[in-house]
Amino acid sequence: MSMPCHLKRCSRPVAGKAPVGVLALQGDVSEHISAFETVIRELGQDIRVIPVRKPEEIPSLSALAIPGGESTTIMRLIDKNHMRECIRSFEGGIFATCAGMVASAREVTEETRFTPLDLADITVSRNAFGRQRESFEADLSINGFEPPFHAVFIRAPIITRAGSDVRVLAEIPRGIVAVQKDKRLILSFHPEISHDLRLHHYFLSEVLSR
């Protein structure tokens, strides 16, 4: 049986020193690109960081960032651009933040407008802290990080349930805010707009090596 056309675009192998991609459909794309470029320079690596808008661009990446933004819009554009299966079958790293966490979930509570990507066995409550004015910053204790990470939460989601194969990295009283599943790092906050780029370092130097 021949492979469906939209899946053929997902079938190329990942090359060595492959680029890091940032899903560039909506959200804080330039901030992610800048953060990764800074960390790559600090690590002395020769890796490009590119915006990604087409499904056929995904398989050639080493990693894909799913940025913060408006989760409903991001998911609708993923489906409109036939990117769902390419993201779900992608074997490289995933760096998902804020709305990216919502998109990555298995289940989003009280959400009927879209079906998330199911990149990790997590249940997410979107906009768990209310409106934009409820945004806040906090020094966050992250497993393996010292000193605490200064995290920026903007209309942030929260993880209310994590499966047994998901490693919880950080929690606050309201719930879980950072998890890892294999090569997938999923955060409810915005490290790309922080001066602290340790999570980007961790992702590129340790998570991708798994």
Distance CA 201, CA 168 (A): 18
Distance CA 182, CA 186 (A): 11
Asked if 190 is an active-site residue, the reply is: yes
Q: What is the CA radius of gyration of the chain?
A: 16
Asked if 86 is an active-site residue, the reply is: no
* Residues 24 and 54 sit within 8 Å (Cβ to Cβ): no
H-assigned helices in the chain: 5-8, 29-42, 71-80, 84-88, 99-104, 198-205
Active-site annotation holder among 10, 86, 192, 200: 192
* Residues 89 and 10 sit within 8 Å (Cβ to Cβ): yes
Active-site annotation holder among 32, 98, 171, 200: 98
Distance CA 172, CA 141 (A): 9
Active-site annotation holder among 10, 31, 190, 200: 190
Asked if 201 is an active-site residue, the reply is: no
Secondary structure of 114-173 in HEC code, one letter for each residue = CCCCCCCCEEEECCCCCCHHHCEEEEECCCCCCCCEEEEECCCCEEEEECCCCEEEEEEC
**Catalytic positions:** 98, 190, 192
